[in-house]
Amino acid sequence: MAYDAVNMADWQISDAAEENMPTPEQWQEKLGLQKDEMLPMGRLAKIDFLKVIDRLKDKPDGKYIEVTAITPTPLGEGKSTTSCGLMEGLGLRGVNVGGALRQPSGGPTMNVKGTAAGGGNSLLIPMTEFSLGLTGDINDIMNAHNLAMVAMTARMQHERNYNDEQLARLTGMRRLDIDPTRVEMGWIIDFCAQALRNIVIGLGGRYDGFTMQSKFGIAVGSELMAILAVATDLADLKERINNITVAFSKDGKPVTCRDLEVGNAMAAFMRNTINPTLMCTAEYNPCFVHAGPFANIAVGQSSIIADRIGLKLFDYHVTESGFAADIGFEKFWNVKCRFSGLKPHVSVLTSTIRALKMHGGGPQVVAGKPMDEAYTKENLELVEKGCANMVHMIGVIRKAGINPVVCINRFYTDTDAECAVVRKAAEAAGARCAESKHWEKGGEGALEFADAVIEACDEENNFDFLYPLDMKLRDRVETIAKEVYGADGVDWEPDANAKAEMLENDPKYADFATMMVKSHLSLTHDPVRKGVPKGWRLPIRDVLIYSGAKFLCPCAGTISLMPGTSSNPAFRRIDVDPASGKVTGLF
């Protein structure tokens, strides 16, 4: 049944749907899992993926469906809602369907954007657990990541306080001689805490640490989250963690978690994160939750592990990429699929009338403030102009050899005439297009959408990567900037250029993936520039080295790895009933 999404809050719909949510034991029977493949955690469960994959290794994979979007407003365009709605629509068509979504960060949940549970009748349940820590993966990542920083800063203090002979005799350690100006990692916390972007640590006496500049990033942007997204098993996870470059020595050598003798302990903290958590939509379609968000500063993909399980258990498996096609889909296309060896059958391009109006020159959309009435009243001119952004994203997906399905994620304020403009532009660009009212009506509102996806999955595609692995880093960035973003070229700041040259000349980085760091609010590095800007160049100011994940991350513009909390954050409206323990106010 569909709930009254117009008049009910998301948490109220979740509460109502949870009354009939299957138990772990019921899921075991429904999914055909063995008893030892389910790891119950309260009313949720993790899945022992190695046992499932081993048992089903000879079973053919299902259809692989990726969900991305046009350039969003600061409020997002409903990729999670669309993913859930598609699962619900496919479920009503009688097919065996499931999916994999990312775990939300506490930063947006407690800030303006809210949780990533979807919305209306197309959301994941139980919403409270999903939004507030789930089964502890992000907490485990925080502990493991910060342990590496503890190990490094303690080592720096001891090396300062003792000579080589004392260091060996008292601690059994050799001198690493870490350069405090070349520390790659920082600390992490899972909130948007702008006050922690730039800090000084180690103030006090000689036993109070090593005095140096430091920084915090948001937890889901940690290299450990990236490793979780691409790891194949616990042994691979452990090896990748030990290979993380924490800093460089004063003679330019990388200092890894293995050098600090902390990688194995970090892996111990993360031992449980390797298994996905099983949840479901409000219409009880199974969905795995694994890895995290923020494709602008991180990989931002559902994990390879969750996708591999889903493709074995389901005939249609829906996976989500963060933000728009220029960021999330590009990383899915050229990084995740290259790592996994999996080939998608179709990509869904989520589009909203709201975002298209913004790209057409509509009033500024500011998170936390009421939207201008232009976004709730018919305006065909704004929609038509804004379709250029959607057409550009269709072109990006087509460069991968995929013919996308454009989903008009329709709000109840959108008009038939506005949707007709979008459909005409999408079909003229060579894409299928379907309206979907999954937010308002759940699966019943997504049947046209589900049919379009089924039809697209039955077509052959010519999926291929944008660039070969032997292409140099700076040439890759130039290719991505021109072919995906529409830039005229790339401008490297001197330090970034020198770092890129060093990385290109070192053979150990030759097969590293290129993981762009860029604003999600524009095709450019400047979040203010909407639509499809012309006549611009992409500035690169740094290249982050994720040697465990095997990523090189060129940073465009001034994007920060630690978002800030707004003046009207969501935590002001979140509460808990002391009698029942029920949480209210989540959205």
Compute, in degrees rounded to 10, the torsion defined by CA atoms 229, 235, 236, 241.
80
322 and 216 in one domain? Answer: no
Q: Does 89 map to a domain?
A: yes
At residue 107 the predicted structure's pLDDT band, cuts being 50, 70 and 90, is confident
- Above 80 in pLDDT, residue 368? no
292 and 188 in one domain? Answer: no
Q: What is the domain extent for residue 482?
A: 474-556
341 and 285 in one domain? Answer: yes
Residues 298/518, Cβ–Cβ less than 8 Å: no
Poorest-pLDDT segment among 215-224, 443-452, 459-468, 557-566: 557-566
448 and 299 in one domain? Answer: yes
Tokens of 258: 């293995």
- Above 70 in pLDDT, residue 476? yes
CA nearest to 75, candidates 321, 358, 302, 280: 358
* CATH code of residue 27: 3.40.50.300
- Above 70 in pLDDT, residue 404? yes
Task: Write out the H or E segment, with its range, that includes residue 289.
Answer: strand 286-289
At residue 298 the predicted structure's pLDDT band, cuts being 50, 70 and 90, is confident
- Above 80 in pLDDT, residue 293? no
- Above 70 in pLDDT, residue 295? no
Poorest-pLDDT segment among 55-69, 106-120, 171-185, 477-491: 106-120
Question: Residue 449: helix, strand or coil by DSSP?
Answer: helix
Task: Write out the H or E segment, with its range, that includes residue 189.
Answer: strand 187-189
87 and 60 in one domain? Answer: yes
Longest dimension (CA), the chain: 79
Question: Residue 356: helix, strand or coil by DSSP?
Answer: helix
Tokens of 448: 């046209």
The total of structural domains in the chain comes to 3
pLDDT value for 587: 80
Q: Does 267 map to a domain?
A: no
The DSSP string of 167-181 is HHHHH------EEEE
Last residue of a domain, one of 430, 457, 484: 457
Q: Does 105 map to a domain?
A: yes
Task: Provide mean pLDDT across the span 188-207.
Answer: 94
**CA atoms of 447 and 166, how far apart (whole Å):** 72
Last residue of a domain, one of 398, 423, 457: 457
Q: State how far the alpha carbon of 496 is from the alpha carbons of 72, 197, 474, 552, 556, in Å.
A: 29, 20, 10, 12, 10
* Residue numbers annotated as active site: 79, 81, 102, 113, 295, 323, 411, 439
427 and 288 in one domain? Answer: yes
Q: Does 576 map to a domain?
A: no
DSSP state of 372: P
439 and 310 in one domain? Answer: yes
* CATH code of residue 218: 3.30.1510.10
Poorest-pLDDT segment among 57-66, 123-132, 252-261: 123-132
pLDDT value for 296: 74
**CA atoms of 142 and 225, how far apart (whole Å):** 9
Task: Provide mean pLDDT across the span 476-485.
Answer: 98
* CATH code of residue 505: 3.10.410.10
Q: What pLDDT digit, counting tens, does each position of 140-171 carry? A: 999 999 999 999 999 999 999 999 888 888 88
If one counts every other C-beta atom within 10 angstroms of the C-beta of residue 253, the result is 14
163 and 112 in one domain? Answer: no
Percent of the chain with pLDDT over 90: 85
At residue 172 the predicted structure's pLDDT band, cuts being 50, 70 and 90, is confident
Tokens of 115: 């949780």
This prediction's pTM: 0.94
Query: Residue 265: which region, alpha, beta or left (left: phi > 0; alpha: psi -120 to 50)?
Result: alpha
Question: CA neighbours within 13 Å on the CB side: how many for 157?
Answer: 17
Poorest-pLDDT segment among 103-117, 326-340, 381-395: 103-117
Bond into 494 cis (ω within 30):
no
Q: What pLDDT digit, counting tens, does each position of 548-559 carry? A: 999 999 999 887
Last residue of a domain, one of 457, 490, 508: 457
pLDDT value for 99: 98
Q: What pLDDT digit, counting tens, does each position of 310-342 carry? A: 999 999 999 999 889 999 999 999 999 999 999
The DSSP string of 245-271 is EEEEETTS-EEETTTTT-HHHHHHHTT
Q: What is the mean pLDDT of the chain?
A: 94
**CA atoms of 391 and 490, how far apart (whole Å):** 23
Residues 543/500, Cβ–Cβ less than 8 Å: yes
- Above 90 in pLDDT, residue 292? no
Percent of the chain with pLDDT over 70: 99
Q: Does 1 map to a domain?
A: no
At residue 33 the predicted structure's pLDDT band, cuts being 50, 70 and 90, is very high
119 and 198 in one domain? Answer: no
**CA atoms of 20 and 7, how far apart (whole Å):** 21
313 and 433 in one domain? Answer: yes
153 and 122 in one domain? Answer: no
**CA atoms of 285 and 86, how far apart (whole Å):** 10
The CA angle 474-495-300, to the nearest 5 degrees, is 55
Compute, in degrees rounded to 10, the torsion defined by CA atoms 410, 416, 417, 421.
40
- Above 80 in pLDDT, residue 1? no
Residues 216/135, Cβ–Cβ less than 8 Å: no
Tokens of 585: 């106010």
pLDDT value for 560: 82
286 and 232 in one domain? Answer: no
Q: Does 586 map to a domain?
A: no
**CA atoms of 394 and 431, how far apart (whole Å):** 7
Q: Does 573 map to a domain?
A: no
Q: Does 580 map to a domain?
A: no
Question: CA neighbours within 13 Å on the CB side: how many for 547?
Answer: 20
Tokens of 227: 């490793």
